[in-house]
């Protein structure tokens, strides 16, 4: 939307009573199938085993870091995340087992303009393509838009990272463009796709995600009864 100012120039719509937003907090988030805790070295042993449940490092190709080779290295990796001054890392714990199975963070925070990114999503093999993986993202999206009242949440990924692109689209993020040659990751060029959800879009996505995530939509094996797309147009 746009309007004309007194000089005959097009300008954006006013944002009523806007003020800078608060920074995120290191806190817990509870869902039906998982919960999030601030990342801690206490999670190191379980995460080390989860990330090493396959022999190769294919899951780390598009991440900035390499897979920590030892438990000691995993502890150091998590301590760095704990101490990060400008990113808020969380561990995802599956509710039935209580086991840590992945990590993610809120980062690139611009509280002046209400912009934040969900990034460094690092799921173990057992967590990929699970309902609680979706729920973990949903919990942070709800925190961003409903509690912190940010206007925009971003998702960025290498243009060759097909699973991350599919996840962004499934969650409702809108593709905005590709930043060419903007990173060198592990000695290779990385063109980065940018996606976003803005505040006006979130209620529609939240309704669909929460309907899909109802416990009755999953059988005893955790298999979905209805696909997420079936809830998006209702």
Q: Range of 72's domain?
A: 27-232
Pairwise CA distance, residues 67 & 54, whole Å: 11
Q: Is residue 24 predicted with pLDDT exceeding 80?
A: yes
| Model pLDDT for residues 152-161, shown as the tens digit of each residue | 999 999 999 9
Q: What is the pLDDT of residue 220?
A: 86
Pairwise CA distance, residues 148 & 146, whole Å: 6
| Torsion sign over Cα 183, 184, 185, 189 | positive
| Torsion sign over Cα 72, 76, 77, 78 | positive
Pairwise CA distance, residues 18 & 141, whole Å: 20
Mean per-residue pLDDT of the chain = 97
The alpha helices in 89-228, defined as continuous H runs, are 131-142, 162-171, 202-212
- The answer to whether residue 49 is domain-embedded is yes
- The answer to whether residue 7 is domain-embedded is no
| Model pLDDT for residues 46-104, shown as the tens digit of each residue | 999 999 999 999 999 999 999 999 999 999 999 999 999 999 999 999 999 999 999 99
Q: What is the pLDDT of residue 222?
A: 85
- The answer to whether residue 6 is domain-embedded is no
| Model pLDDT for residues 188-218, shown as the tens digit of each residue | 999 999 999 999 999 999 999 999 999 999 9
**Can you give the CATH number for the domain in which 121 is found?**
3.40.630.30
Q: What is the pLDDT of residue 16?
A: 92
Q: Given pLDDT bands bounded at 50, 70 and 90, which one contains residue 234?
A: low
Packed helices 131-142 and 202-212: angle between N→C axes, nearest 10 degrees: 150
Q: What is the pLDDT of residue 1?
A: 78
Domain count, the chain: 1
């Amino acid at each position: 939307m746009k309007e004309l100012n007194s000089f005959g120039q097009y300008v954006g719509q006013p944002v009523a009573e806007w003020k800078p937003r608060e920074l995120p907090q290191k806190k817990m988030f509870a869902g039906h199938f998982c919960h999030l805790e601030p990342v801690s070295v206490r999670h190191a042993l379980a995460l080390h085993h989860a990330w090493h449940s396959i022999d190769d490092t294919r899951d780390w190709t598009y991440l900035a870091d390499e897979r920590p080779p030892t438990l000691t290295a995993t502890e150091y990796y998590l301590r760095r995340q704990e101490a990060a001054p400008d990113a808020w890392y969380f561990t995802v714990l599956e509710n039935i087992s209580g086991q840590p199975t992945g990590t993610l963070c809120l980062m690139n925070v611009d509280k002046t303009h209400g912009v934040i990114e969900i990034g460094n999503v690092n799921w173990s093999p057992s967590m990929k393509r699970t309902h609680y993986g979706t729920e973990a993202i949903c919990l942070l999206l709800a925190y961003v838009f409903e509690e912190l009242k940010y206007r925009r949440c971003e998702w960025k990924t290498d243009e060759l990272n097909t699973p991350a692109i599919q996840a962004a689209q499934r969650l409702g993020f809108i593709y905005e463009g590709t930043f060419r040659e903007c990173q060198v990751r592990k000695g290779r060029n990385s063109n980065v796709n940018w996606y976003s959800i803005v505040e006006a879009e979130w209620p529609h996505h939240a309704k669909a995600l929460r309907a899909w995530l109802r416990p009755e939509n999953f059988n005893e094996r955790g298999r979905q009864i209805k696909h997420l797309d079936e809830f998006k147009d209702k």
